């Protein structure tokens, strides 16, 4: 069901003041009724809207009335930053409430970005579910969680350049790890002491640390190779046989 192509009678009612979310639910119920008539139950319902409020409200209403699985997401969410923000605003509360069985992140960007955003949204929803007493077990929480610094006055390590080289490989790694890419050697290991693996540095020196303890110091030209070795070691501790793509 798509909010941009409602049946003519519902489109007129929306123009007259009917809530768009209610219209989407009504369309979904009409479609389900057709399947019920022929005894077909293998359906997945997706009510597509580009508005955050319409998306949240329609899925909440539907989930209260029906047990058919829901494919949730904000359609045509926009470019990378805008689209991720809008998708997260709609999906995190729904998923944390137990609404939604599959997700879509619709970006004017690469498919890889959509997948990475979807994983992080599921992870964020799991954290919210845990603190609100919900069920986080149904949400995907595996994979690499990345903690990284912006550029600040103490910045001594090129976090942006490093992330540009490593983001794709980290997101594709099938291991449950927290990896920190920090901007300076003063705060890096301290602020990211919870990380399974971290990297930081200053000038021509790069530090590799694990759970707050520096385990290796190398020159800047050796940073990627040293990080890869440490990453593989950390990954194999949680996922034996894990390899880098």
3-132 fold = TIM Barrel (3.20.20)
Ranges of each domain in the chain: 3-132, 144-238
pTM over 0.75: yes
Which two structure tokens, joined as six digits, stand for 65? 């009335």
- Laid out side by side, the sheet with 177-181 consists of 144-148, 177-181, 197-202, 205-210, 213-219
CA distance 222 to 105: 37
CA dihedral 73, 74, 75, 78 (to 10 degrees): -130
Query: Is domain 144-238 in CATH 3.30.70.920, yes or no?
Result: no
Is residue 201 within 8 A of residue 157, CB to CB? The reply is: yes
Mean pLDDT of 30-51: 94
**Percentage of the chain surpassing pLDDT 70?**
95
**Percentage of the chain surpassing pLDDT 90?**
58
Mean pLDDT of 57-80: 95
* Structure confidence by residue, pLDDT tens digits, 181-222: 998 877 677 778 888 999 998 888 999 999 988 899 999 889
Characterise 212 by phi-psi region: left (phi > 0), alpha (psi -120 to 50), beta (else): left
């Amino acid at each position: 069901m798509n909010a941009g192509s409602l049946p003519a009678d519902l489109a007129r009612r929306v123009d007259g003041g009917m809530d768009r979310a209610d219209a989407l639910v009504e369309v979904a119920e009409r479609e389900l009724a057709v399947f019920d008539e022929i005894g077909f139950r293998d359906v997945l319902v997706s009510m597509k809207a580009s508005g955050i409020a319409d998306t949240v409200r329609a899925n909440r209403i539907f989930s209260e009335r029906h047990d058919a699985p829901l494919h949730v997401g904000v359609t045509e969410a926009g470019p990378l930053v805008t689209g991720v923000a809008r998708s997260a605003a709609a999906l995190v509360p729904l998923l944390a409430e137990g609404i939604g069985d599959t997700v879509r992140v619709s970006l004017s960007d690469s498919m890889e970005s959509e997948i990475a955003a979807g994983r992080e949204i599921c992870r964020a929803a799991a954290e919210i579910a845990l603190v609100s007493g919900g069920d986080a077990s149904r949400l995907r929480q595996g994979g690499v969680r990345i903690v990284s610094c912006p550029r600040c006055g103490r910045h001594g390590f090129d976090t942006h350049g490093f992330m540009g080289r490593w983001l794709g490989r980290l997101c594709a790694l099938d291991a449950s790890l927290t990896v920190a890419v920090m901007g300076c050697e003063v705060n890096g290991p301290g602020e990211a002491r919870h990380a399974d693996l971290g990297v930081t540095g200053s000038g021509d020196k790069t530090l590799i640390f694990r759970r707050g303890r520096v385990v290796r110091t190398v020159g800047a030209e050796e940073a990627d190779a040293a990080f890869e070795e440490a990453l593989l070691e950390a990954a194999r501790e949680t996922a034996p046989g894990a390899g880098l793509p």
